[in-house]
C-alpha cells in the first residue's frame, strides 16, 4: 500500500478516504470487511504508514483524531491531513488544521494545491484555501511556475489569481499566458491584468499587444483589440473588422468609432465586388452587423460567391437583417458546403411552412449528401404534423447513427398538431411501426390524441 500511496493524485486520496468508510454500510454488521479480518489496535503508536492511513479515514472520529496526532512523523500522509481539515468532527478538524499549519511550506503547498482546492469546495473547506494563499503568497515566482503549467484548470486559475494579486508577473508574461492557456477564465484574468498593467504604467508596447492580438482565443484577441484604443492605434484595429469572431469584430468597430471612423463604408467597399476571391467572410457578416436593410443588395449577389465561407456568411447576414427570403434561399440547401447548408437551414426555420414538404422529403433520402439530409430532416421536423412523423419513422432504420438517434427523439416527442386529421390511419400505422420507442401506455395515449381510440 505504501507504493500506491506514494503515487497517488488528488482524486485518489479522496477516493481512499471515502472507500475506507463506504464499505461499512454494505455489510449486515455495519462494519467494513477489513475491520473484521485485520482490525486496528487500540493503541496507534506503533502503526506503520499504511495502517495509519486507514486510521486517518476511520469511521470513528476518536480514531481519526488519535491518528492525526501521530501523523506528524509521516509526511507522506499530509494529503489525508488536508482532507481531515474539513472533517465533520470538530476535534479532528481542529487538530488537523494545527498540524497542517505547522508543516505546510511553499514546497509542500505547491504539491498539495490540487487536493486543497478540491477539499476547499466542501463545507468547512475554506481553511485550506486560506492557508494555501497565505503560504504561497510569500513564495517566490519560481515556486508558482508549477501551478501555471498544471493540467487541472482550477490549479492554474488559483496560481494566476495569486500571481496577479501579488503582481508577480509582468504585462508581457500575462499576455503570453492569456494567449497560451486553453481555459477561458485564465485567458480573461491574464488578458485583463496585462491590459490594466499597461494602463497603469502608461502607453503600450508590442511585447504585450502582439501575443494578445495573435491569440487563438477570441476573448483574448478582443482584449488586445480593445487595448488598441488607449494605445492610439486605430489603424491596427481595422484589420480585425473582418475577424472570424463576432466579439472581436465588435471590439474593432468600437475602437474605430472611438477615433472618429465609420466601419460601415469599409464593409460596403469590401462587399462591393461579388467575384473577389480574396473577400474575407468576416467582412460579409460584419456588414450585416453594423449596416442596414438596404445593404442586403450587396449580400444577395454573394450567395453565388466561389468561396463557401463567403456564401455562408452572406446567408447569415441576410438572417441578421431579417431579409431571409425562403424562395431565394431554398436552392442553397443543395450547396456542396455543409456550412452554407447549416446557415441556410437556420435562416429558413422561421418560414418553414412555406417550403414544399415533398421537395424536402426528396432531399432526406439516402442518395443525398449527409449535410443535405440533416438539413431536410430538421426542416421537416420543424413543420410538424404527419410529414414530420413520416420522415422520422422512415429514418428509424437509417445507417447513419446520429440521424437514426435524432429520428427516434423526434418520434418520441411527436404530438398531433391542429392540421392533423382526426383518426388519420397513416398516423396509426406510423405509430405502430415505432412502437418499440414507447411503452404500451404512452402509445395508447398518443393514438388517443390523434383520434385513434379504436
* 309 Cβ neighbours under 8 A, 6+ residues apart: 281, 339
d(CA 321, CA 127): 54
**How many angstroms separate the first and last alpha carbons of the chain?**
68
Confidence (pTM):
0.81
Residue 59 burial (CB < 10 Å; 0-12/13-18/19+)? Answer: middle
d(CA 67, CA 329): 73
d(CA 218, CA 252): 12
Count Cβ neighbours within 10 Å for each residue of 212-238 and write b for 16 or more, e otherwise.
bbebebbbbbbbbbbbbbebebbebbb
Tens-binned pLDDT, residue by residue, of the chain (454 aa): 444 444 567 888 888 888 777 654 444 455 565 555 555 655 666 676 788 888 888 878 888 888 888 888 888 899 999 999 999 999 999 999 999 999 999 999 999 999 999 999 988 999 999 999 999 998 888 888 999 999 999 999 999 999 999 999 999 999 999 999 999 999 999 999 999 887 666 555 888 999 999 999 999 999 999 999 888 888 899 999 999 999 999 999 999 999 899 999 999 999 998 888 889 999 999 999 999 999 999 999 999 999 999 999 999 999 999 999 999 999 999 999 999 999 999 999 999 999 999 999 999 988 899 999 999 999 999 999 999 999 999 999 999 999 999 999 999 999 998 888 998 899 999 999 999 999 999 999 999 998 987 5
**CA-based torsion, 287, 292, 297, 301: positive or negative:** positive
| Nearest one of 46, 22, 43 to 33, comparing CA atoms | 22
d(CA 254, CA 371): 37
d(CA 314, CA 299): 6
Amino acid at each position: 500500500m505504501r507504493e500506491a500511496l506514494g503515487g497517488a493524485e488528488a482524486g485518489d486520496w479522496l477516493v481512499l478516504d471515502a472507500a475506507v468508510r463506504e464499505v461499512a454500510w454494505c455489510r449486515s454488521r455495519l462494519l467494513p470487511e477489513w475491520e473484521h479480518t485485520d482490525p486496528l489496535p487500540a493503541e496507534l503508536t506503533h502503526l506503520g504508514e499504511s495502517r495509519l492511513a486507514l486510521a486517518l479515514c476511520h469511521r470513528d472520529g476518536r480514531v481519526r483524531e488519535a491518528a492525526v496526532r501521530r501523523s506528524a512523523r509521516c509526511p507522506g500522509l499530509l494529503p489525508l491531513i488536508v482532507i481531515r481539515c474539513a472533517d465533520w468532527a470538530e476535534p479532528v478538524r481542529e487538530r488537523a488544521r494545527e498540524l497542517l499549519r505547522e508543516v505546510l511550506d511553499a514546497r509542500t503547498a505547491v504539491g498539495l494545491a490540487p487536493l486543497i482546492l478540491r477539499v476547499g469546495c466542501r463545507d468547512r473547506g475554506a481553511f485550506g484555501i486560506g492557508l494555501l494563499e497565505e503560504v504561497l503568497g510569500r513564495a517566490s515566482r519560481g515556486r508558482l511556475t508549477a501551478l501555471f503549467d498544471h493540467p487541472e484548470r482550477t490549479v492554474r486559475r488559483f496560481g494566476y489569481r495569486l500571481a496577479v494579486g501579488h503582481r508577480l508577473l509582468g504585462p508581457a508574461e500575462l499576455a503570453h499566458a492569456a494567449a497560451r492557456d486553453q481555459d477561458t477564465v485564465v485567458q480573461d484574468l491574464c488578458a485583463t491584468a496585462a491590459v490594466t498593467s499597461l494602463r497603469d504604467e502608461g502607453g503600450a508596447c508590442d511585447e504585450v499587444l502582439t501575443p494578445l492580438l495573435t491569440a487563438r482565443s477570441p476573448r483574448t484577441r478582443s482584449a488586445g483589440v480593445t487595448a488598441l484604443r488607449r494605445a492610439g492605434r486605430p489603424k491596427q484595429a481595422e484589420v480585425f473588422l473582418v475577424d472570424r469572431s463576432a466579439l472581436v469584430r465588435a471590439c474593432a468597430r468600437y475602437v474605430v468609432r472611438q477615433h472618429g471612423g465609420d466601419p460601415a463604408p469599409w464593409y460596403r467597399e469590401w462587399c462591393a465586388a461579388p467575384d473577389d476571391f480574396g473577400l474575407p467572410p468576416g467582412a460579409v457578416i460584419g456588414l450585416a452587423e453594423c449596416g442596414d436593410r438596404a445593404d442586403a443588395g450587396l449580400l444577395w449577389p454573394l450567395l453565388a460567391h466561389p468561396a463557401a465561407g463567403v456564401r455562408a456568411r452572406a446567408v447569415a447576414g441576410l438572417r441578421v437583417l431579417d431579409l431571409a427570403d425562403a424562395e431565394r434561399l431554398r436552392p442553397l440547401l443543395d450547396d456542396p458546403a455543409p456550412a452554407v447548408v447549416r446557415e441556410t437551414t437556420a435562416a429558413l426555420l422561421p418560414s418553414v411552412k412555406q417550403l414544399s414538404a415533398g421537395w424536402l422529403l426528396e432531399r432526406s433520402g439516402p442518395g443525398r449528401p449527409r449535410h443535405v439530409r440533416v438539413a431536410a430532416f430538421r426542416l421537416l421536423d420543424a413543420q410538424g404534423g404527419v410529414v414530420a412523423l413520416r420522415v422520422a419513422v422512415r429514418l428509424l432504420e437509417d445507417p447513419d447513427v446520429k440521424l437514426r438517434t435524432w429520428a427516434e427523439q423526434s418520434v418520441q416527442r411527436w404530438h398531433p398538431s391542429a392540421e392533423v386529421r382526426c383518426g388519420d390511419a397513416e398516423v396509426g400505422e406510423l405509430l405502430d411501426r415505432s412502437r418499440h420507442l414507447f411503452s404500451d401506455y404512452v402509445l395508447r395515449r398518443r393514438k388517443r390524441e390523434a383520434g385513434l381510440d379504436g
